Amino acid sequence: MQFFVMAKTVLKSLFRKPATVKYPFGPKMLSEFARGSISIDISRCIFCGMCQRKCPTGAIVVTREEKTWNIARLKCITCGYCVEVCPKKCLQMSNQYTEPMLTKHEDLYKNA
């Protein structure tokens, strides 16, 4: 049984920088591999609907006739399955998280 075992750790902490990030005053530390959100290069999309079929939560809706690609960001679990199956590789996993939203809107991308 010992006393003051933590004294060393406490003294070290006094002279050390805080372990936490001073966000929003300091930079946000994001790993380059972080699964933040799905982004699409709509000009290369062929609207095959593979991502819609494979999406485990049904967050993606693709219409071939109107050439739209629709994602419900609040349903998306950023598993990256759509990125994996995309035949044209036009889907990308970005390490940036989406901004907070006040309404449950969906992001619509259209190939004009």
Partner 1 sequence: MTKRTIIPFGPQHPVLPEPIHLDLVLEDELVVEAIPSIGFIHRGLEKLVEKKDFIDFVYVAERICGICSFIHGLTYCIAVEEIMKIKVPERADYLRTIWSELSRMHSHLLWMGLMADSFGFESLFMHTWRMREKILDIIENTTGGRVIFASAKVGGVRRDIDSATLKSISKSLESYKNELKEITDIFIKDSSVQHRLVGVGVLKKGQAYELGAVGPTLRASGWSIDTRKLGYAAYKNIDFEPVVETSGDSYARCVVRIKELFQSIDIIRQLAGKIPDGPIEIKITGNPDGEFFARTEQPRGEVIYYAKANGTKFLQRLRVRTPTFANIPSLVKMLPGSSLADVPVLVLTIDPCISCTER
Chain positions contacting partner 1, by CB under 8 A: 1-3, 5-6, 8-10, 13, 19, 31, 33-35, 54, 56, 77-81, 84, 93
d(CA 56, CA 110): 23
Burial string for 59-79 (b: 16+ CB within 10 Å, else e) reads: bbbbeeeeebbebbbeebebb
Residue closer to partner 1 (CB basis): 9 or 103: 9
Question: Least distance to partner 1 from the beta carbon of 66, Å?
Answer: 27
Question: Least distance to partner 1 from the beta carbon of 5, Å?
Answer: 4
